[in-house]
Each structure stands twice: as C-alpha cells, then as structure tokens.
Amino acid sequence: MPAAHQIDINHVARLARLTLTEDEAARYAAQIDGILSYIDTLTRYDLGSVEPTAHAMPVYDVIRADEARPGLAQEQALSNAPKRSADQFQIPKVIE
Amino acid sequence: MLASAPITTLRKQLAAREIQPRDIVLDVAKAIESRNSEIGAYLSWDLDSALAEADRADISLPLGGIPVAVKDNMNVMGQPCTCGSKILSENYRAPYDAGAIQRMRAGGAVPFGRLNMDEFAMGSSTENSALGITRNPRDLSRVPGGSSGGSAAAVAGGLAVAALGSDTGGSIRQPAALCGCVGIKPTYGRVSRYGLVAFASSLDQIGPVTRTVADSALLLNHLCRHDPHDSTSLKVETPDFTAALGGDIKGLRIGLPKEYYISGIHEGVSASVQAAIRQLESLGAIIEEISLPHTELGVATYYVLAPAEASANLARFDGVRYGRRSASASDLMEHYTQSRAEGLGSEVKRRILLGTYVLSSGYYDAYYIRAQKARTLIRNDFTDAFKKVDVIVSPTSPMPAHKLGELKDNPLAAYLEDVFTIPVNLAGLPGISVPCGEAAVDGVSLPVGLQIVGKPLDESTILQVAHAFEQSR
C-alpha cells in the first residue's frame, strides 16, 4: 500500500451514491487519508497464510421449510413510502 | 421514586399489589417530563400507548408490567425509529416489532420511550445524533458516551427503569461505564438482530442497560432466544442467568492482558480498576497476567470491517421505500445521491465513504481481506487466553466522560477510545461493564466502568463475577 493514499473522493462518492460539496470532498479526503494511515498498522503483520474471518460465530446453511408464512402485507410495506402510486413505490422516470 | 428503582424491587412491589404497572409508567413519564429537557436522553415517548399496555400487562410474567426504554434503532410497531438521523426522522413508523421487542413483550415488559443515539450507532459520545444533544447526568457539560448514550443517560439519570441498547464496538458498555450503570453485550448471535437497523451486521448485538447486574440477568433471560428471522441467531439453550448470581468466585481465574495496562489510561480510571482487581482478589479470585498479542490491530481492523459493512447496509436508504426523499432531484441518480446527501450526517457519510473505498476495486484485498485476516488473529488471541483463564478484566474505556465538543474535529482520537471494547465485538464474545469507582476530573467525580469479558456463550460467568463485585462494594 502506498504511504500517501490520494483517494479519489469524488469517484468513491459516486460509488456510494452521495453528493458532496467541494468543501465536504476536501475535508473527507483529508480525514479518510488520516484514518487509512492508521489502518496501515495492518501491513506490519504477515497475514499471508491466515484464514479470513467473516463472522465470529459462524452459522452455515440456514434454511427453513419451503412453506408459505405470513409476511408484511402490501399496505404495511407501502406505509412508509415517500411517494406511491397504484399500490407501488413511485420513483423518478427512468426511460424516455 | 419508582423510575429509579431496580426491576427486582419493583417486581416485589407489584407482586405484593403495593403498586400497579401504570404507576411505574406514570412515574417514568414524570421523571422524563421534569428532566429530559436538560439530559436529552429521550427523542420521543408515547405515554398513552404505554399506559394501555401497562393496564393489560400480566404481572405474573417475570418482567410483567416493567417499562423498558428502547434505543431508537429497534423497530417497535407503530412507533418512530429515527436512528438519530434526519433520513428517518420525518415520517417513518415501524411496521413490525423487532425480535428483541417481541421477546420483551413475551416476558411481560412494556416498551416505553425512544432513546437518543449517535446517528446509525456511529460514534461513542451521542454527539453524532442529528436530533439533539444527550448530556451525562453526572455532569451536564459532559457526554454520556455512545452510541447508546440515551440508554445509559436515561438509566443513570433516573429517567428509565431499564433500557435496551446495541453494541457494535462498545456502544452499550462504554456509555454504561461513563454514566455509571451496568451494560452487557451478549455473545454474537444470542439476541435476535431482526428489526434492529443494521450498522455492521457481523458485529451488532442488542443488550440491556440497567442499574444492577441482577436486572441485566433478568432482561437477558428473555432477550436471548433463537429467532428464525435472523440467520445469524444461534440455536442454543438460554440458561437461567439469574441462577448464576450469588455464587462465590473463589478460585476463579481472572486474566489481565498485559497489552491493555499500558500508557494512555487516565490515572483515575487506572486507580479505580486496580482497586477493583484487588477487590476481586480478596473475594478469592486468582489474578493472572495474560497476553493478547494482536491488541494493537483491533481498532484498525474494526475501522475497515465496520464501515465496509455499514456502506452496504446503509445502501437501503435510497429514498424509495422509506425515509427522506429529496424534493430537488431531477433524475433517478440524483434522487439517490441528493436524498442521501440531505438525510445523512457527516460521521455517517465519512464511514460510508471509507467503507465504500475499502471495498472498491483494487483495494478490497489490501484492506477488507487483510482486516478479515487480522480479525482471525484477534479471535485466536482470545481463544488461547481462555485456555488459561475464565474471564478477562480491563477498564471499559481508557478515559472518563469528556466534555461536549472536545473530540469533535478529531475522529481518529475518538475511535481510539474504543480500544478495549472493539476486540470483544470482533471476537463475538460476551462483555459486561459494571461501575467500579470514580475518577476526579476538574473537581468533578466521574464514573468508571470495569469490563469483564467471557468465553463464547458464557454470560453466566461474567454476570456472576460482576454481581459478586457489585455486592462486595
């Protein structure tokens, strides 16, 4: 990993679906650079042969019987929709 | 004052018919109305629905008629669930009960009141809430800790009988320590996360914040249960945690990690914890030095994994199905980017950006996989240590409560305060914070917490040690 991180903050913001002002972009880039420098502590250890851990208490293949069971009713699922139309979530137009 | 009594006392009064459940709810409401404007523990409370539930409560159940305040990131049907964020504060109402709330209701408890928190549980001072400041009841110029700052301030300030919090890197234990109450994070998978708004799914766990260890044990008896709605929920028996209390701790082996007792701990915290260790020794425990050699990797590992998981979890806040929706967007992409920019606060944005970066193409192996490997080493450290000792003891937080605003512009310094609590989440272990003394700071006496960490699923032993210590003080 390079010592100076030079993160392309606007690219990352696009991936994260966040609009940033110029001020925010500069501030976050500097702060994240500082945090990444600290995170570089991880490079001081040889981790090559270590198995990664995703969950501390691994539970595998959680399945249930394929039977119908109650879930959220349509009205409940739509109850917090910012905008709805014809019992569906409404979003801005996506095709011309 | 019923609002500031332990659950165990209230249960006796209820059983003797000296009081009714509604008396407790009304007393809590009175305490909220008189003191919440200065403490800011609650964001909202619905007295009418709580009274209606209290009147229906079956007091023959173990938690029958006991009001429990809830951190504002757990869904309680029909109530707000803001997560301390503007993105959820306008009109969201929970369409269902979280698994932990179902369990509380099954035990007879009455959910009452919504507690302030760092936005989406990201923070350790509650200063990151977009919806208001919470103050430490001991000194109103100081933070209550966080992210479950509202939970700890409500219990410590006499504004709640007991509360639920959530803990991703110390968010139950650290505020409990800073406010002077008991807080426990159970083993990962003990308590259902269904209906808990996810921050970092592999680390989040719900637990109680209470006045006494016995009250925590009582709540855990009901909270811990397998839930088919949560695929990480463990299919294990729930012991009677109350039965574990009261036994002596003669011969119990307590480990002190040599890596934890180094510089950087406030002298008042250090003195209180040393005195607590001597106290445990006088109760018959055997104190041994142990080593957790990868301790210095804990915070760095956490600040890769937790933001990575958060960046994925918080993608759901897109202004489509619930939450804030920007009025100014002209197309779908702007609809996403603007709704999120308007609704999320700066700490949340910082962590989403960091998490997105460490998961992005070209950096995934260098950061995310590397951190998952470091997590293995941290977990192995504990596995090895627990071959020699029964529990591990440390300060909960290296510092007592700081002043409001003190760490505002230094996110990294704030992150480093979680050094003793974070490894416990990474390893999925149970940990409790119990009050162990006071630290004098600027002429004010501030609470100090002792953290006791146990083997996986061995909450009983840490409760037993915490209880023995509490009763001996």
B463 part of a folded domain:
yes
- For A18, the domain range is 1-44
**In terms of domains, do B281 and B314 share one?**
no
**In terms of domains, do B310 and B449 share one?**
no
Helix H, strand E, coil C: the string for B174-205 is: HHHHHHCCEEEECCCCCECCCCECCCCCCCCE
pLDDT number for residue A2: 41
B455 three-class SS:
coil
**In terms of domains, do B284 and B326 share one?**
no
**In terms of domains, do B76 and B215 share one?**
yes
- For B98, the domain range is 1-288+382-473
A87 part of a folded domain:
no
**In terms of domains, do B305 and B420 share one?**
no
pLDDT number for residue B95: 96
A23 part of a folded domain:
yes
Name residue, tokens 């592999």: B202
Which chain A residues are within 8 Å of B370, Cβ to Cβ? 42-43, 47
**In terms of domains, do B93 and B221 share one?**
yes
From first to last of its 473 residues, chain B has per-residue pLDDT tens of: 899 999 999 999 999 999 999 999 999 999 999 999 999 999 999 999 999 999 999 999 999 999 999 999 999 999 999 999 999 999 899 999 999 999 999 999 999 999 999 999 999 999 999 999 999 999 999 999 999 999 999 999 999 999 999 999 999 999 999 999 999 999 999 999 999 999 999 999 999 999 999 999 999 999 999 999 999 999 999 999 999 899 899 999 999 999 998 778 999 999 999 999 999 999 999 999 999 999 999 999 999 999 999 999 999 999 999 999 999 898 999 999 999 999 999 999 999 999 999 999 999 999 999 999 999 999 999 999 999 999 999 999 999 999 999 987 777 778 888 999 999 999 999 999 999 999 999 999 999 999 999 999 999 999 999 999 999 99
The full length of chain A comes to 96
**In terms of domains, do B334 and B253 share one?**
no
Name residue, tokens 């040889």: A46
**In terms of domains, do B350 and B450 share one?**
no
A17 part of a folded domain:
yes
A58 part of a folded domain:
no
**In terms of domains, do B276 and B324 share one?**
no
Distance, in angstroms, between A23 CA and closest chain B CA? 12
Summarize pLDDT for B207-221 with one digit per residue, the tens. Answer: 999 999 999 999 999
Contact between B377 and A50 (Cβ < 8 Å): yes
For residue A1, pLDDT beyond 70: no
Total domains in chain B come to 2
Mutation choice for A interface testing from B128, B301, B354 by most A CBs within 10 A: B354
**In terms of domains, do B317 and B443 share one?**
no
A30 close contact with B: CB closer than 8 A: no
Q: Do A92 and B350 touch (CB under 8 A)?
A: no
Among the residues of B344-437, which ranges form H helices? 346-359, 370-385, 411-416, 422-426
A25 close contact with B: CB closer than 8 A: no
A32 close contact with B: CB closer than 8 A: yes
Q: What is the DSSP string of B105-132?
A: HHTT-EEEEEE--SGGG--SSSTT-SS-
**In terms of domains, do B338 and B404 share one?**
no
Summarize pLDDT for A51-82 with one digit per residue, the tens. Answer: 999 989 888 888 888 999 888 999 999 999 99
Q: What is the ipTM of this complex?
A: 0.94
pLDDT number for residue A4: 58
Phi then psi for residue A27, to 5 deg, are -65, -50
A14 part of a folded domain:
yes
Which amino acid makes up residue B356? T
Closest residue, chain B, to A96 (C-alpha): B331
**CATH at A3:** 1.10.20
Total domains in chain A come to 1
